[in-house]
Amino acid sequence: MIIIAHRGNTSGPNKARENHPSYIDEAINAGFDVEVDVWVIDDKIMLGHDGPAHHVDIEFLEKIADKAWFHCKNLKALRSLSETNFRYFWHQSDDFTLTSTNHIWTYPNKDLTDRSIAVMPKNYESVASLDIYGICTDDCLQLQAFMKKNRL
């Protein structure tokens, strides 16, 4: 099962650093995949959750692509990333959304399958022992410790 750092968070939410390129690199260097919020504004690639905040170039996305799950935040980002081999998805308020790699990005308290990525589960006990593809969380280190302790 893979563990995905939500916006780069590994030890709880850090609003000041979420989606910052160096924060994303830190999560990847710690051994985690990472969910990254991507915007394309005036043909510029920007990262940020509530709005575009950090300008990056395509080389940055290429560098992290093997560990990244790109959450397209606007139509231009979705259109641009659909021309790549990157893992990406878009959603608004859906219970589930299908990623470009046919994984099912699944919100809390929804049914899960072996292709599911459980997003921000309320507690790890309810999902960590299931046959799912991964978990996206702000607390990767805590989840990792839980899984090690319980030999999952």
What residue segments make up the domains of the chain, in order of their start?
2-149
Beta carbons within 8 Å of 89's beta carbon, 6+ residues apart: 69, 70, 71, 72, 97, 98, 99, 100, 105
**Separation of alpha carbons 92 and 15, rounded Å:** 20
99, pLDDT greater than 90: yes
Q: What CATH code would you report for 2-149? A: 3.20.20.190
Cα distance from N-terminal residue to C-terminal residue, the chain? 9
Give the closest residue to 82 by CA, choosing from 66, 100, 67, 62. 100
Which pLDDT score is estimated for 17? 98
123, pLDDT greater than 90: no
pTM: predicted TM-score of the whole model, two decimal places = 0.96
Which pLDDT score is estimated for 92? 87
pLDDT bucket at 128, cuts 50 / 70 / 90? confident
Query: What would the pLDDT profile of 57-90 be if each residue is shown by its tens digit?
Result: 999 999 999 999 999 999 999 999 999 999 999 9
126, pLDDT greater than 90: no
Query: What would the pLDDT profile of 17-45 be if each residue is shown by its tens digit?
Result: 999 999 999 999 999 999 999 999 999 99
For the chain, what is the mean pLDDT?
A: 96
